[in-house]
Amino acid sequence: MIPRQFEYHAPQTVPEAIALLQKYGDTAKLLAGGHSLLPMMKIRFAEPEHLVDLGKVEGLKNIRVDGKELRIGAMTTENELIWSEIVQKQCPLLVEAARLIGDPQVRYKGTLGGDISHGDPGNDHPAIMLALGASFVLAGSDGERVVAADDFFLGLYDTALAPDEVLTEIRIPVMAKGSGWCYAKLKRKTGDFATAAAAVLLTMKRDTVKDVSIALTNAGATALKARAAEDSLRGKKLDDAAISEAARLAMSICDPAADQRGSIEYKIAMSGEMTQRALRTARDRAK
């Protein structure tokens, strides 16, 4: 299929991009890696009249540590995340997730900011961001604001981004020393989106759980934070009984849609299974 005709804009700065969004309003869309937007345009699910390409905008690709935060420019690609020594050291959970996204072509073009802004619960980064307690810098005509991942994902393809805002930076607390982590993702084949997936970040005090966060991909209209499951584990020994109770609680909040990846019942069961796998691996990795 061929997208409808559109006008292409290539701003050089964030304020120029914002000005274009303001000028063209609802008829404009930002373009990052294009690996979600262009397929949607081809099937005419999205029909923007103006594409505002962030590809030439300066300053959206930095990866740096600032105090206790890892700060990543929104236009950083999956491949750049995977190969960044800073990200490998400070946030291996993010590297593990990025390596499981799509195929090499998708990882070479797709950006962290685009994956988050798209608001697709089948994308992997929303759950990763919830598990990591990330926040997002949104730049608009009234300046910048910082929104926590917890408050960002509002519904299916719906986020806290205003129509004239650009996600410029992702801020992630540096993982505590000795943390365990895992992103367990079930997919039908290499290159596919998740049938179900769970992200876990864990700190232990001897053999009991000090803190844990659990987030689920493709289990509802947005990525889900499994808070009751987390609460059930804090202060507990992470044995088989505790892990299976946490998985039960995680499954109880799932509300997936049936599709070619499986029935509702299957997807809920697989969310539980991925939660168990992620908890076990995170426990084994924690020091």
Ligand X SMILES: Cc1cc2nc3c(=O)[nH]c(=O)nc-3n(C[C@H](O)[C@H](O)[C@H](O)COP(=O)(O)OP(=O)(O)OC[C@H]3O[C@@H](n4cnc5c(N)ncnc54)[C@H](O)[C@@H]3O)c2cc1C
**Rule CB under 6 A: which residues touch ligand X?**
29-37, 39, 54, 74, 101-102, 106, 110-111, 113-115, 117-118, 123-125, 161, 166-167, 191, 193
**In the bound complex, what is the minimum distance in angstroms from residue 49's beta carbon to ligand X?**
13
Q: Give the residue with the Cβ less far from ligand X, 140 or 245.
A: 140
**In the bound complex, what is the minimum distance in angstroms from residue 68's beta carbon to ligand X?**
24
Q: Give the residue with the Cβ less far from ligand X, 87 or 246.
A: 87
Pairwise CA distance, residues 31 & 218, whole Å = 24
Q: Give the residue with the Cβ less far from ligand X, 155 or 191.
A: 191
Q: Give the residue with the Cβ less far from ligand X, 129 or 247.
A: 129
**In the bound complex, what is the minimum distance in angstroms from residue 189's beta carbon to ligand X?**
11
**In the bound complex, what is the minimum distance in angstroms from residue 213's beta carbon to ligand X?**
19
